[in-house]
Structures are given as C-alpha cells and as structure tokens.
Amino acid sequence: MYAYSEKSMMPSVMRTFAMSLAIAFIGTMLGVFVPPALFLPLVIIEVGMLIAIFFLRKRKAITYTFLYVFTFISGMTMYPVIAHYVATVGGNVVINALGATTVVFTGLAIYATKTKRDLSFLGGMLMAALLALIAVGIFNWIWPLSSTGMLAYSFIGILVFSGYVLFDFNRMKHYGVSEEEVPLMALNLYLDFINLFLYILRFLGVLSNRD
C-alpha cells in the first residue's frame, strides 16, 4: 500500500512529535517570565499560524522551523491556562489530566496502528464535530455555559480529539508518510495531544469545582 521508504518515516514522525512536545514544554516553563500584556499578541500570532496551517497543509508546505516556532508559541500561551487550573483546582488535577491524556493517546495510537480497518471514513464526521466545537466555544465566550453544559462540552471535545488520534495514526499506517510530510504529521499529532489534554483538563476542572 505504501513504499518501504514511506513506511520507515513513522519513527521520524514520532521523534518530531516528541521534539514538538518538548519545545512546547519549554515554552510553557518560560511563560512565567512573559508579561501578561504580551499573551494576547502571542495568542493572535498563534491563531494566525493555525489559519496558515489550514492552507499550508494542503500543499504539504509545513516546515520543521514553522512547526517548532508554532509549538513554542503554543507552549507559552498555554502557561496562563495551566496557571489558572493550578491556582483554582490544584496542581494534582493538571498532573492527572496529563497522565490521563498520555494513557488515552497511547492506547488509541496502538489500536489505530494495529487494526486492519481503514478509519479514513472518520475524517468528514470529525471535521463537522470540530467546527461544532469551535462554534460552541465562541458561544461560550459570549454566554458562558453552565457547569453541566461545560462538562458535556468538554466530554464531547475529548471524544472528538480521541477520534482524531485514531484517524491520524490509522492514516499513517494505511497510506504511509513521505519525507516531506513528516513535519505536517507531527503537527497533527501535536494538535491532537494538546487539545485532548486541554479538554480532559477542563473536564476534570469542572468536576473538581462541583465537589
């Protein structure tokens, strides 16, 4: 189904993905030194890069430099979120969310690469669900959801990005990865992992506040 050279790119994708997480972690650690007034410009840059990703991925034009700059900025903008949850529900909740994310992500990745089923049919449904999540997220900024609504929203987000983990790993297994696609696939996995973590963190945060 794919050439051996493409199949052998999977370890490169995983190494690049791991490097992306490491760079994001460094960015988060350095976030403590970023003046609060700079976080909004950083978020705007991050959103601009996300929009650029949408167009660049179609041309497979994501470079390693772009990937690592994006993940570094993403890590820095994550600092206020992490700090908020540490302050409101405690560091244990953040650690538990990270642990749960790692377990879920790894389990889904193993299943997606072992199963013989082609899960590419999930693509359209996941995109529709993602757009719905974005729409509800915008609505939540204007009219905040109740704790029950936020719990449901977070759970659906967990399901959507769990689906993306399955989809992306399964796609690499069935269709292979060319050398030029390595940064793009690593970026996909990074976005899957980070969004899964944020939705699990939000879910656990709501549960903790309800206790």
Mean pLDDT lowest for which of 36-45, 108-117, 138-147, 159-168?
A: 138-147
Residue 156's pLDDT band (cuts 50, 70, 90): very high
Reading the block at residue 173, the tokens are 């297994």
C-alpha–C-alpha distance, residues 104 and 88, integer Å: 25
C-alpha–C-alpha distance, residues 170 and 113, integer Å: 6
pLDDT computed for residue 9 by the predictor: 84
Tokens 């790692």 map to which residue? Answer: 102
pLDDT computed for residue 178 by the predictor: 87
181 with 64: CB under 8 angstroms? Answer: no
Among candidates 153, 109, 106, 104, which has minimal Cα distance to 129? Answer: 153
Looking at the predicted structure, is the pLDDT value of residue 86 above 70? yes
Among candidates 184, 177, 205, 160, which has minimal Cα distance to 63? Answer: 184
* R_g over Cα of the chain: 17
pLDDT computed for residue 126 by the predictor: 94
